[in-house]
Amino acid sequence: MKRLSRLSLLAALLLSVAMTASAATYKKQTIMAASANTPGSNHGVLLNRFKDIVEKESGGAITVKVYLGGTMGDETANVKQIRNAELHIATLFAGNLTPSAPTANVLCLPYLFTSMDEAYAVLSDKAFTTALADQVAKESGARPLGWMIGGWRSITNSKKPINKLEDLQGLKIRVSPTAMQLAAFRAWGIEPHPMAWSEVFNALQQGVVDGQENMYVTNRDNKFWEVQKYMTEIHYMLWIGPVIVSDAWYRKLDADTRALVDKAVETAQKEEWAAAEKEQSDSKKLSIENGMQITIIDPAEEVRWQEKARGVWKDFLNTPEMKSLTDKALAVIAAMPKK
Ligand code: MLT
């Protein structure tokens, strides 16, 4: 008995030495995190979860300051701050990364995905995400460490229901400054209005544009029902949001801190994926309760949208990286069990 209790004492001692040693491996430092979205958005939830994990597991050695609601500027500005390591981590819509990292367009190829499950599969494929992250880091200095997957980007507007392509004609629709989105809307016959995300609500309110396109969750976070009456569900693009870190900063991190950052992003991403579908359906319900009129495009009609939008792919598969990443994504999708 005595021998056993001496052994347990020794084990407890060793454990406490190991814990002290591991806490001591984190240097005192501050991580700056930002999103142009609200605290209740998937961005805000993810970054605050990242903060909780990093601060707790570093035993308070690392402080994470989270700036939300655009206090650090717009999403495209955040990418530049990340490149200069003025910010260390940020979340944004993939499209808003494309002006700095054109290869991020691979996730914006219209009608690449036919379901959220396909996006989960592609963004769980390490060969795909590593190749994409390396290329995006090379182009922009921002390294995607994780990916949020929200839901389909639906079109809202203040003028009329859109049931078919013809109804879209004449509407002034805001899109993010993403070449792929501009090309898709041009293929559908209208000239879209690229605009920074932080300007969208005011532009809708003042009638500078008639509509925009985003997922239900974004509609909820920004109370777009105050300025938009109609919402049209189409399936041309999923809202996918990279969790980017400053590559220069990340490479200089010591191994333990880097592992903690990786783990915190991975955990927060998993939780975002698990919550996404419910968040979408709750936000849809709220949009209806707040007076929005929802149109679901008839599948036969959507084939017309799809044919036109898929026509722009050839203009974007113009680098070896875009070609090879698109092939990789398509191969992952093709290998999925058929339902
Ligand atoms: C946009 O339309 O610019 C984005 O979808 C905004 C966002 O990050 O949710």
Q: For each of the chain's 339 residues, which pLDDT tens digit applies?
A: 445 455 555 555 444 444 444 444 899 999 999 999 999 999 999 999 999 999 999 999 999 999 999 999 999 999 999 999 999 999 999 999 999 999 999 999 999 999 999 999 999 999 999 999 999 999 999 999 999 999 999 999 999 999 999 999 999 999 999 999 999 999 999 999 999 999 999 999 999 999 999 999 999 999 999 999 999 999 999 999 999 999 999 999 999 999 999 999 999 999 999 999 999 999 999 999 999 999 999 999 999 999 999 999 999 999 999 999 999 999 999 999 987
Q: How far is the CA of 211 from the centre of ligand 1 (A)?
A: 14
- Using CA atoms, how far residue 271 sits from 67, 103, 243, 248, 279, in Å, is 21, 26, 14, 27, 12
Nearest C-alpha neighbor of 96 from the set 177, 38, 41: 177
Q: How far is the CA of 194 from the centre of ligand 1 (A)?
A: 12
Any ligand 1 atom below 6 A from CB of 185: no
Nearest C-alpha neighbor of 306 from the set 238, 239, 237: 237
**What 8-state DSSP symbol labels residue 190?**
-
How far is 255 from 161, CA to CA, in rounded Å?
A: 54
Any ligand 1 atom below 6 A from CB of 41: no
Same fold for the domain at 26-101+119-149+240-275 and the one at 154-237+281-334? yes
pLDDT in tens, 130-167: 999 999 999 999 999 999 999 999 999 999 999 999 99
Q: How far is the CA of 133 from the centre of ligand 1 (A)?
A: 20
CB 244 within 8 A of CB 97: yes
Tokens of 78: 């955040």
What are the domain boundaries of the chain?
26-101+119-149+240-275, 154-237+281-334
Any ligand 1 atom below 6 A from CB of 222: no
**Which residue lies with its CA nearest to atom 2 of ligand 1?**
176
Q: How far is the CA of 148 from the centre of ligand 1 (A)?
A: 12
How far is 223 from 334, CA to CA, in rounded Å?
A: 38
pTM of this prediction exceeds 0.85: yes
Any ligand 1 atom below 6 A from CB of 37: yes
The fold of 154-237+281-334 is: D-Maltodextrin-Binding Protein; domain 2 (3.40.190)
Give the pLDDT score at 13: 45
Q: How far is the CA of 137 from the centre of ligand 1 (A)?
A: 21
Q: What is the dihedral of CA 79, 219, 175, 275, to 10 degrees?
A: 50
The structural architecture, per CATH, of the domain 26-101+119-149+240-275 is 3-Layer(aba) Sandwich (3.40)
**Which residue lies with its CA nearest to atom 8 of ligand 1?**
93
Any ligand 1 atom below 6 A from CB of 92: yes
Q: How far is the CA of 36 from the centre of ligand 1 (A)?
A: 9
Q: How far is the CA of 92 from the centre of ligand 1 (A)?
A: 7
Give the pLDDT score at 24: 44
pLDDT in tens, 4-24: 455 555 555 444 444 444 444
- Using CA atoms, how far residue 241 sits from 39, 75, 269, in Å, is 16, 11, 10
Name the residue of 148, 176, 221 to mutate for ligand 1: max ligand atoms within 8 A of Cβ: 176
